[in-house]
Amino acid sequence: MRTPILAANWKMHMTVGEALAFAEALAPLIGDAEGVEAVVAPPATALHSLGEALAGTPVKLAAQNVHFEDKGAFTGEISPLMLADVGCAYAIVGHSERRHIFGETDEMVGKKAGALLAHDIRPIVCVGETLDEREAERTFAVIESQLDGSLADVPAGRATDVVIAYEPVWAIGTGKTATPEMAQEVHAFVRERLTKRFGDDASRIRIQYGGSVKPGNVFELMAQPDIDGALVGGASLEAESFSRIVLFDRTEESSS
Ligand code: PEP
């Protein structure tokens, strides 16, 4: 049984005040969020305050990035130790914006995932192909090599603490969503690769879909056998919209 995990990636949006207002608005909308896990990843400046606001609620705190060292001369970076200190349960690593804008490699993503696990923070490891790669029919090869590199430092026995987010780059922030069938095809491939690497544990690893998820399409996506959650950018910035995504199984397949 894989508990669905619905995560908000706010990227470079939200002041501390806005983050706190969101938390206040979200709480009554999702209640105890029974049967699902809701996660919010604010910018680093809001982690501490939002962490305090979320304490005692079912919503978990996540970071959007991390460095793999605990401390040192790495100006501008934040360590897993620091994320643990402010109560992060999760951290996103290898988001396509980190890979494509900031040049993160699979090796770096792998080290980050390993460092997070050492501090009992669960990594949300993002993988996904670009439009050019999809059109060149390289989707599976790209996903395979991203998974191999990004999971290289995950110790045996910790696989089920990892969440994979399959996010086709061409669907992020574009309004273009992979059809549920297209997403499922890649999720099944991811599960197959995870099984090769981690054996039976792979059946308990959650695989999120990300790319223009919104209240109107989350239900159909979540109905796919290997889609266990969503990583959501734009539609997670409003509490009402994110709450409908979190409660996908209790809202009607809706209009927006
Ligand atoms: C994301 O940031 O991971 C994402 C999927 O963004 P959006 O939902 O806006 O496409």
Give residue-wise pLDDT tens across range 32-76. Answer: 999 999 999 999 999 999 999 999 999 999 999 999 999 999 999
Share of the chain above pLDDT 90, in %: 93
* 199 class by beta-carbon count within 10 Å (0-12 exposed, 13-18 middle, 19+ buried): exposed
Backbone angles phi, psi at 221, to 5 degrees: -65, -45
- The pLDDT assigned to 32 comes to 93
The pick from 92, 124, 213, 238 for probing ligand 1's pocket by mutation, whose C-beta has the most ligand atoms within 8 angstroms, reads: 213
Tell me how far apart the alpha carbons of residues 115 and 175 are, in angstroms, rounded to a whole number. Answer: 34
**Residue 13 among the catalytic residues:** no
Q: What residue owns the CA closest to ligand 1's atom 2?
A: 233
**Residue 167 among the catalytic residues:** yes
| 167 CB near ligand 1 (under 6 Å) | yes
In tens, the pLDDT along 79-135 reads 999 999 999 999 999 999 999 999 999 999 999 999 999 999 999 999 999 999 999
In tens, the pLDDT along 149-207 reads 999 999 989 999 999 999 999 998 888 888 999 999 999 999 999 999 999 999 999 99
Average model confidence (pLDDT) across the chain: 95
In tens, the pLDDT along 238-247 reads 999 999 999 9
Which distant-in-sequence residues (6+ apart) come within 8 Å of 80 by Cβ?
66, 67, 68, 70, 91, 115, 116, 118, 119, 121
CA distances to 86, 117, 196 from 17, in Å: 17, 30, 45
pLDDT at 255 over 80: no
Beta partners for 126?
165
| 217 CB near ligand 1 (under 6 Å) | no
